[in-house]
Amino acid sequence: MESHIAEIVQHTGGVIGNSWLMIAFPLVGAFILLVFNRFTNRWGHLLGVAMSLASFVVAVLAFFELIGFGPEERRRAVHLFEFIPGMPGEPAMVDMGLLIDPLSISFALLITGVGSLIHIYSIGYMSHDEHRRRFFSYLNLFVAAMLLLVLADNYVGLFIGWEGVGLASYLLIGFWQFKPSAATAAKKAFVVNRVGDFGLLVGMFVIWTSFGTLAFKDLGAEVNGVQNGTTLAIGLLLLLGACGKSAQLPLQSWLLDAMEGPTPVSALIHAATMVTAGVYLVVRSGAFFFPEGSGAALAVSIVGAVTLLAGAIIGCAKDDIKKGLAGSTMSQIGYMMLGAGLGPAGYAFAIGHLITHGFFKANMFLGAGSVMHGMNDEVDMRKYGALRKFMPITFVTFFIGYLAIIGFPLLSGYFTKDGIIETAVHHQPILGWLAVLGAGITGFYMSRMVFMTFFGEKRWADDAHPHESPLVMTVPLMVLSLGSLGLGAYLVLNGTLYRFLSPAVGGDPAAAPEFHFVTTPGLATLALVAVGAAFAWMRYGRAEVPAVQPRGSFLTTFARRDLYGDALNESLFMRPGQWLTRLAVFFDNRGIDGIVNGLAAGIGGSSGRLRRIQTGFARTYALSIFIGAALLTGALLLVGNI
Amino acid sequence: MTTHYLVLSGLLFAIGALGVLVRRNAIVVFMCVELMLNACNLAFVTFARQVGNLEGQIIAFFVMVVAAAEVVVGLAIIVTIFRTRRSASVDDANLLKY
C-alpha cells in the first residue's frame, strides 16, 4: 500500500519554533511550587492554573500557525539540542527536538485544554485540602511530562515523558498517602507500569540495533515498509508498553485501584490523557511497526477488543462510582486500541474517540467528583439516589456525558465509536461484532450508574446534605459537556479529522471514509444499547436498589472481583515470586552464610591452636631461630650457590 | 694457613650458640651472645687477611661498636628485670605470650 505520510520539514521561528514553551510553562510551575514550598501556599493553585492556561495558549497559537501551512507541510520538526552526542566527528546519536504535526498538536490541545479545565475544577475540589499546593505542583508536572511525551520527535524523548507521566501518576494516586489503600494503589500502578515500560525500553533497544536511529523522521526511510520478524517483535514489545500505560489486558489491574487518587486526577490522568498514551504510541509507530494487516496490528486489535469487553463487564458490577467509570475507561481505550490496529482508516476514529472520550469521560469523572463533594466523599452508588433534584448542573452535564458514551445518536461518542465499530466490522468482522456487543454492555452499565446516582429513591447516609458544587467546579463541567455534545460531529462528519491527521499517520486524504448513519452494525449497536439501557432501567431505575450489596450470581462476583485479574496475578506472579524470595533467603542463610561463617570459624579455630607456639620462653624462640638458620644454610649449601 | 682461625671461630660460635640455648641465667646468655659476635669478628678478620684487603677488619670494628651499644641496652634491661622480679632467669620472664 502506498504511504501518504508527509515528509517532516525542519522549522525555525514563529510560535512553532518556540513550542518548547508549552512544556516549559508547567515545568517551571511545578518547579516553583515544589522548591518554594509553603511560601507559595496562598497563591500556588493560581500559579498552577496560570501555567496550564499559558501552555494551552501556546498550543492554540501553534495549532493556528500549523494549519496555515498546506496539508503536506504540516509536519514541522523543531530542533532543540544535541541530547546524546555521537563519537567525535560523527553526528549526534540522539537529537532532542519537538515534532509539531497534526497528531501531536491534537494531543497537545486535548492535554492542555482539558488539563486547564481540570486545574480550574481542582481549585474548588481541593479547597479543603491543606496540601492543595503540592497537588497543583504534581498536576503541572504531569502536564509537562505528558506534553513532552506527545511532542518529542524521537523515542527517547517520548520515553522520558512516558516515565514522567508515570511518576506524576504515582505521586497523585498516592496523594493521600496516609491512607494505606492509596499508598498501595500507587505502588501497584508503578510496578505494573514497570512491566509495560520494560517492553517499551526493550523495543527501543531493538529499534536502535536494527535501524540505528530513534528519530521518527529517519525511521520511515530506515524501515521503508519492510515487514519481518524484527518489526513484528518491535511491534509486540511496543504493544506491551502500550498495554501497561493504557491499562489493557493483561496489564489492566492497576487502573481500578488508581481511583484511590483525588477525583480530578482520575479525570485528567486516568481517563482523559495519560492512559491514552498507549494509543498515541501505537498510532505514532503505526507507519513503521503496525502497518495495516501486519501481525502486530492484529495483536493490537485483539488486545483492544478483549479489553473493551473486560472493562465493560467489570463496569457492570461496581458499586463504587469511580471504579465503575474506571472500568468504562478501560473499555473505551479498548475501542481506541481496536481502531488503532486497523491502519490509517482506524487511526482517525481512534484518535477521534480518544479526543471525544477525553471530553465526556473527564466530564463524567468530574461530575462524579462533584457528587462526592456534595455527599461527604461517599463513593458507593447504593448510598446515592435521587440526586438530580439537588445537583441540577452536575446532573445535566453528567447526563450529556452519559448520552455521549453510550453513543446516543448525534452526540460525540456516537460518531467516533460507531466509526470504530464500522471500520472494525469491515476489516476484522469478529472483533467488530465483539465491539458491538461491548457497546450494548456499555449501554447497560452507564445507565445503571446514572439511574443509581440520580434517579430512584434517596438512600443517603443520615448526615448527608447534598448540594450543588461551586461555580469554579461546575463551569468546567459545562465546557466539557459542550465538547461531549458537538465535538464528535465536527470531527467525523466530512472526515475533518481524517483529512487533518492523514499527513501525520498516512491514509489517502482524498479517500476520507464517509460516515453512514444507517448501517447494519450501527443499527445493531443502537438496538443493543437500547436493550441494555432498558434492562438497567428495570433493574435500577424502576425497581428499588438494595442499600446493601446483594450477594449476586457467579457472574456478578466474577465482575466484582475484576474478572479475577488480581487473583490471577497473585497466583501466577506474586506467589511464585514469594517462593523464589524464600528460596533465595534460605540459600543465602544456609548456603552463602554457611560458607562464609564456616570459613571464618575454621580460620579462627586453627589460629587459636597455632598461637600456642608463642610460649613466652625466649630460649624456645632462640632455638627456632637457630634451627631455621641452620636449615637455611644447609639448603643453600645443598643448592651450591654459596 | 687460615684454616685454624676459622675452625677456632666455628668452635667459639658453636659454644656461644649452645650457651644461649641451654643456660637460664640472663647474664650468661648475654656473654654467650658476645662470644658469638666475637666468633664472627674472628672470621671477618681471617677472611680479610686471606683476601688481602681491609674491609673485613673495618666491619669487625663496626661489630664491636654495635656490640658495645647492645651491651649498654641489654644490661640495663637485665638489671631492671632483676630489680622488679628478683631473678635473672630468662625462663621466668615469660609473660609476653599467647
The structural domains of chain A, with segments of one domain joined by +, span 328-336+355-560, 571-639
Nearest-by-CA chain A residue for B91: A617
* pLDDT value for A452: 86
Residues pairing with A76 in the sheet:
A9, A100
**Nearest Cβ partner for B21 among A611, A615, A623:** A623
The residue that leads in pLDDT, A577 or B98, is: A577
Residue A81, SS3 per DSSP: strand
C-alpha cell at A595: 560458607
Q: For residue B45, what pLDDT band results from cuts at 50, 70 and 90?
A: very high
**Nearest Cβ partner for B21 among A614, A615, A626:** A626
pLDDT, tens digit, 9 for 90 and up, residues A332-388: 999 999 988 888 878 888 888 999 998 899 999 888 988 888 888 888 888 887 888
**Nearest Cβ partner for B91 among A614, A617, A623:** A617
Closest CA–CA distance from residue A617 to any residue of chain B (Å): 5
Cβ atoms of A336 and A290 closer than 8 Å:
no
- Yes or no, beta carbons of A626 and B94 under 8 Å apart: no
Cβ atoms of A283 and A103 closer than 8 Å:
yes
Query: What DSSP line would sit under B38-61, residue for residue?
Result: HHHHHHHHHHHHHHTSSHHHHHHH
- Yes or no, beta carbons of B21 and A614 under 8 Å apart: no
pLDDT, tens digit, 9 for 90 and up, residues A207-261: 999 888 888 888 877 777 777 888 889 899 999 999 999 888 888 888 888 888 8
Q: Which domains does chain B have, with CATH numbers?
A: 3-85 (1.10.287.3510)
- Yes or no, beta carbons of B91 and A612 under 8 Å apart: no
Cα–Cα distances in Å, from A166 out to A99, A194, A205, A490, A605?
22, 9, 20, 32, 55
Is A24's pLDDT higher than 50?
yes
Residue A130, SS3 per DSSP: coil
Closest CA–CA distance from residue A623 to any residue of chain B (Å): 6
Cβ atoms of A124 and A473 closer than 8 Å:
yes
The residue that leads in pLDDT, A345 or A621, is: A621
Helix (H), strand (E) at residue A99: strand A94-100
Is A1's pLDDT higher than 50?
no
Q: Which of A611, A615, A617 to mutate to test the interface with B (most CBs of B within 10 A)?
A: A617
Nearest to A157 by CA among A205, A219, A98, A82: A98
For a pLDDT cut of 70, what percent of chain A falls above it?
Answer: 99
**Euclidean distance between CA atoms A63 and A402, whole angstroms:** 30
**Euclidean distance between CA atoms B95 and A557, whole angstroms:** 83
* pLDDT value for A2: 46
The residue that leads in pLDDT, A554 or A415, is: A415
State which amino acid sits at residue A282.
V
Q: Which of A606, A619, A623 to mutate to test the interface with B (most CBs of B within 10 A)?
A: A619
C-alpha cell at A545: 436498589
Q: What is the pTM of this model?
A: 0.78
- Yes or no, beta carbons of B90 and A626 under 8 Å apart: no
Would residue A519 be called left, alpha or beta, if left means φ above 0 and alpha means ψ between -120 and 50 degrees?
A: beta
**Euclidean distance between CA atoms A316 and A544, whole angstroms:** 17
**Euclidean distance between CA atoms B59 and B52, whole angstroms:** 14
Residues 6+ apart with CB under 8 A from A445: A312, A315, A316, A324, A327, A328, A532, A536
- Yes or no, beta carbons of B20 and A622 under 8 Å apart: yes
Pairing of strands A76-84, A94-100: antiparallel
The residue that leads in pLDDT, A583 or A642, is: A583
Cβ atoms of A207 and A155 closer than 8 Å:
yes
Residue A548, SS3 per DSSP: coil
Greatest pairwise CA separation for chain A in angstroms? 118
Cβ atoms of A416 and A284 closer than 8 Å:
no
Cβ atoms of A252 and A278 closer than 8 Å:
no
User: Taking CB atoms and an 8 Å cutoff, what residues of chain A touch B40?
Assistant: none
**Nearest Cβ partner for B98 among A614, A619, A622:** A614
pLDDT, tens digit, 9 for 90 and up, residues A184-213: 999 989 988 998 999 999 999 999 998 888
**Nearest Cβ partner for A611 among B24, B91, B98:** B98
C-alpha cell at A543: 425497581
* pLDDT value for A289: 85
Nearest-by-CA chain B residue for A610: B98
Query: What DSSP line would sit under A266-312, residue for residue?
Result: HHIIIIISGGGHHHHHHHHTHHHH--TT-HHHHHHHHHHHHHHHHHH
User: Taking CB atoms and an 8 Å cutoff, what residues of chain A touch B20?
Assistant: 619, 622
The CB density around residue A183, as the number of other CB atoms within 10 Å, is 15
pLDDT, tens digit, 9 for 90 and up, residues A448-474: 888 888 888 888 877 878 888 888 888
User: Taking CB atoms and an 8 Å cutoff, what residues of chain A touch B95?
Assistant: 616
For a pLDDT cut of 90, what percent of chain A falls above it?
Answer: 24
Residues pairing with A96 in the sheet:
A81
* pLDDT value for A387: 83
Cβ atoms of A262 and A134 closer than 8 Å:
no
Q: Chain B window 19-58: which residues touch A at a Cβ cutoff of 8 Å?
A: 20-22, 24
Mean pLDDT across A617-639: 91
- Yes or no, beta carbons of A614 and B20 under 8 Å apart: no
Mean pLDDT across A567-585: 89
Q: For residue A3, what pLDDT band results from cuts at 50, 70 and 90?
A: low
pLDDT, tens digit, 9 for 90 and up, residues A503-521: 888 777 777 777 777 888 8
Nearest to A469 by CA among A402, A393, A398, A399: A393
User: Taking CB atoms and an 8 Å cutoff, what residues of chain B touch A611?
Assistant: 98
Closest CA–CA distance from residue B16 to any residue of chain A (Å): 12
- Yes or no, beta carbons of A615 and B91 under 8 Å apart: no
Closest CA–CA distance from residue B62 to any residue of chain A (Å): 23
Give all strands of the β-sheet with A9-10 in edge-to-edge order.
A9-10, A76-84, A94-100
Nearest-by-CA chain A residue for B94: A616
* pLDDT value for A642: 56
Closest CA–CA distance from residue A180 to any residue of chain B (Å): 59
- Yes or no, beta carbons of B97 and A615 under 8 Å apart: yes
- Yes or no, beta carbons of A618 and B21 under 8 Å apart: no
User: Taking CB atoms and an 8 Å cutoff, what residues of chain B touch A626?
Assistant: 17, 21
Helix residue ranges per DSSP H, A36-101: 44-67
* pLDDT value for A569: 83
The residue that leads in pLDDT, A70 or A642, is: A70
Q: Establish if B98 touches chain A: CB-CB under 8 angstroms.
A: yes
Of the given ranges (A76-90, A315-329, B9-23), which has the lowest mean pLDDT? A76-90
Of the given ranges (A101-115, A487-501, B23-37), which has the lowest mean pLDDT? A487-501
Nearest to A300 by CA among A232, A388, A229, A212: A232
pLDDT, tens digit, 9 for 90 and up, residues A256-300: 888 888 888 888 888 888 888 999 999 888 888 888 878 888 899
For A38-59, b where at least 16 C-beta lie within 10 A, e where not — what string?
eebeeebbebbbebbbbbbebb
The residue that leads in pLDDT, A552 or A602, is: A602
Q: Which of B47, B77, B94, B96 to mutate to test the interface with A (most CBs of A within 10 A)?
A: B94
Closest CA–CA distance from residue A604 to any residue of chain B (Å): 14
- Yes or no, beta carbons of A619 and B17 under 8 Å apart: no
pLDDT, tens digit, 9 for 90 and up, residues A398-435: 899 999 888 888 888 888 888 888 888 888 888 889 88
- State the DSSP code for A513: P
Q: Which of B18, B21, B28, B47 to mutate to test the interface with A (most CBs of A within 10 A)?
A: B21
Cα–Cα distances in Å, from A299 out to A235, A462, A467, A621?
9, 51, 47, 84
C-alpha cell at A337: 486500541
> Which ipTM was obtained for this model?
0.87
The distance from CA A585 to its chain's CA centroid, rounded to whole angstroms, is 35
- State the DSSP code for A590: I
